[in-house]
Amino acid sequence: MRRFRPPHPHVNQRIERPVTAPILSPELPDRIAPARARITAAWLRDETEAVLDLLDQAGLPDGEREQVVDRAAALVTRVRERAKDQSVVESFMRQYDLSSEEGVLLMCVAEALLRIPDTRTADMLIRDKLGDANWRKHLGRSESLLVNASTWGLLLTGRLVNLAESTRDDFTGALRRLVARIGEPTIRVAVRQAMRIMGHQFVMGRTIEEALDRSVKKENAAYRYSFDMLGEAALTAADAERYQQAYRDAIGALGRRGPFANHTDAPSISVKLSALFPRYEVAQRERARLSLTEKLLELAQLSMKAGIALSVDAEEADRLELSLDIIGDVFAHPSLAGWNGLGIVVQAYAKRTPLVIDWLVEMALMHDRRWYVRLVKGAYWDAEIKKAQEQGLSGYPVYTRKPNTDVSYLACARRLFAAGSHLIYPQFATHNAHTIAAVHHIAQGRPFGFQRLHGMGTDLYAEVIGPKQFDVPCRVYAPVGSHEDLLPYLVRRLLENGANTSFVNRVVDEATPARELVADPCETVRAFDSIPHPRIPLPANLYGELRKNSMGVNFANDNELSALAEAVNTHPGPWTAGPLCPERPARAPWSMSPTRPTAASAWAAT
């Protein structure tokens, strides 16, 4: 009998081999395999259970907790002093963040204009879209983010856009009046100019040479740098090759500025796997793993030769395990013997992260190599929540309350230090004063580095890196590229700056007392009635009393795929399919042979 086999979700295909166990990395040695399997099992772990575990690991004794809060509050006070003479761009961004209607207008138009190569078409677009009297009827139906301006605002800020009452009622009218008053060419030029200004805020240079030159000027020289070539989500093989070449060139340029005493002091490179392969997705696991391992290995070998470190950025949750397999293959590669420069980014908002750290430790022990690990909180929170709801999963891969993520960050920091600096050199990427003070306290003099993003956290780190201050080195993540490639990165930064839960957003609000801003997250979480966010129901309960959300299969999780395969393979048939809505029984279910299961029939059988 022909059998259904995961992990390929092409369930319509006839496949010869039956499945008995998860396929992922079957070649893993005994020592690594259990650590790897624990990561898969923890995907949608119960949030309360996970956070209670972390609380025990993250908490500090009373006296020490107060000490950390005092130090963090002092940082906030000094940052607020400095913020009084912030740059024009910073004031502009704070004045017109994406919760303002001007900010949203700007991004809508910018998003569209960046795609249009000639000025005539750009002007036509402005006239057509901004002046479209029927704009409203397209809302929610069009692919264009410009048309879906409200959705765009929600996406960008993580909350509903606070448009003025009059504009909210007549958004189209407001856009039309704007165009009529100042004309399309003016809007086009102004938007491109604004993008350039924002680009300058967040991008270190248009080319790697320009970025390197800027990195040694004036106060920039106090930092180390990790350069990132802007661009992600390559859509074609040509895109991917262009990004690969950009990374090759950048590594070459960094190497020419050497020799460097060691990787920790040298500039480094940060790489996004999504930029290097157009089908970086679980459905294409074998192709993606093969191609990306080869590409990443080439960049790692070049970095080794250049005497610098290379770090792989963390992206979406459904790519995590595939990324670990690729990075793990490269880490273990014999051609990199003697090089301790491979780095990986882990996200504290993800429930699997403590287990990822355990896996990293096992890998380091087994191959007798060291990792650079950058701990971040995670930049894709809104998307992760939305995706899990859309797919009707049984839980979320990320925490639903920000203090839960903060607790996880501190627990993960402890885990990284506990591994020892011969296995892991930890780097803490944060713009949050409490997180900085707490990590510094947890370190107890052990070696580590802080990291910040170019264009963010400048005032804060000016108070951290000096010898009379925390005296810990800081590396700046410095994007390089043109403003055309900036948008996805810019959106994440504007989200971060605009979100009202975000430290960088709250620190400039003098109305929030410093000590409240830097409250100990463990104490905050302990005081919660409910550890998961009470207003973010599990994906299955999204529609409350109305109905259950439709169930989905998480194709990126081997355990779920195996369960699905098991159900399909053991079902004797016949297969029937029909609507599963309550009170609407299928009137005429259709049947089929068990030898050719489809996604719909397989699911109905489970």
| Residue ranges in contact with ligand FAD by CB under 6 A | 313-314, 345, 347, 349, 374, 376-381, 398-402, 404-405, 429-432, 435, 451-453, 477, 496, 501-503
**For strand 590-592 and strand 575-577, is the pairing parallel, antiparallel, or unpaired?**
antiparallel
Cβ within 8 Å of residue 177, ≥6 positions away? none
Q: How far is the CB of 101 from ligand FAD (least distance, A)?
A: 24
Our CB check for ligand FAD shows the closer of 343 and 594 to be 343
Our CB check for ligand FAD shows the closer of 105 and 250 to be 250
Q: Is 337 exposed, middle or buried (0-12, 13-18, 19+ CB in 10 A)?
A: exposed
Gap between the Cα atoms of 94 and 76, Å rounded: 17
Q: How far is the CB of 140 from ligand FAD (least distance, A)?
A: 25
Our CB check for ligand FAD shows the closer of 13 and 500 to be 500
Tell me the two tokens of residue 11. Answer: 């369930």
Our CB check for ligand FAD shows the closer of 42 and 113 to be 42
Our CB check for ligand FAD shows the closer of 319 and 402 to be 402
DSSP string, 20-46: -S--SSTT--TTTHHHHHHHHHTTT--
- Tell which residue, 158, 178, 83, 95, has the closest CA to residue 385: 158
Q: How far is the CB of 400 from ligand FAD (least distance, A)?
A: 5
Q: How far is the CB of 398 from ligand FAD (least distance, A)?
A: 6
Q: How far is the CB of 478 from ligand FAD (least distance, A)?
A: 9
Q: How far is the CB of 76 from ligand FAD (least distance, A)?
A: 12
Q: How far is the CB of 355 from ligand FAD (least distance, A)?
A: 17
The single residue listed with the structure tokens 């809505």 is: 581
Q: How far is the CB of 271 from ligand FAD (least distance, A)?
A: 10
Cβ within 8 Å of residue 396, ≥6 positions away? 44, 47, 351, 384, 385, 388, 536, 538, 539
Q: Where are the alpha helices (DSSP H) in 59-183?
A: 62-83, 88-95, 101-113, 119-125, 135-138, 149-157, 165-169, 171-182
Our CB check for ligand FAD shows the closer of 51 and 605 to be 51
Gap between the Cα atoms of 599 and 596, Å rounded: 10
Residue 411 corresponds to which amino acid?
A
Our CB check for ligand FAD shows the closer of 340 and 451 to be 451
Mark residue 544 as left, alpha or beta (left: phi above 0; alpha: psi -120 to 50; beta: remaining): left
Q: How far is the CB of 344 from ligand FAD (least distance, A)?
A: 9
Our CB check for ligand FAD shows the closer of 171 and 489 to be 489
Gap between the Cα atoms of 146 and 96, Å rounded: 19
Q: How far is the CB of 342 from ligand FAD (least distance, A)?
A: 15
Q: Where are the alpha helices (DSSP H) in 229-352?
A: 237-256, 285-306, 320-331
- Tell which residue, 396, 340, 397, has the closest CA to residue 363: 340
Our CB check for ligand FAD shows the closer of 519 and 580 to be 519
Q: What are phi and psi of 376, to 5 degrees?
A: -120, 170
Residues 141 and 150 sit within 8 Å (Cβ to Cβ): no
Our CB check for ligand FAD shows the closer of 372 and 603 to be 372
Our CB check for ligand FAD shows the closer of 274 and 601 to be 274
Handedness of CA 160, 166, 170, 171 (dihedral sign): negative
Q: How far is the CB of 428 from ligand FAD (least distance, A)?
A: 9
Gap between the Cα atoms of 234 and 167, Å rounded: 37
Q: How far is the CB of 409 from ligand FAD (least distance, A)?
A: 7
Q: Is 248 exposed, middle or buried (0-12, 13-18, 19+ CB in 10 A)?
A: middle
Our CB check for ligand FAD shows the closer of 291 and 405 to be 405
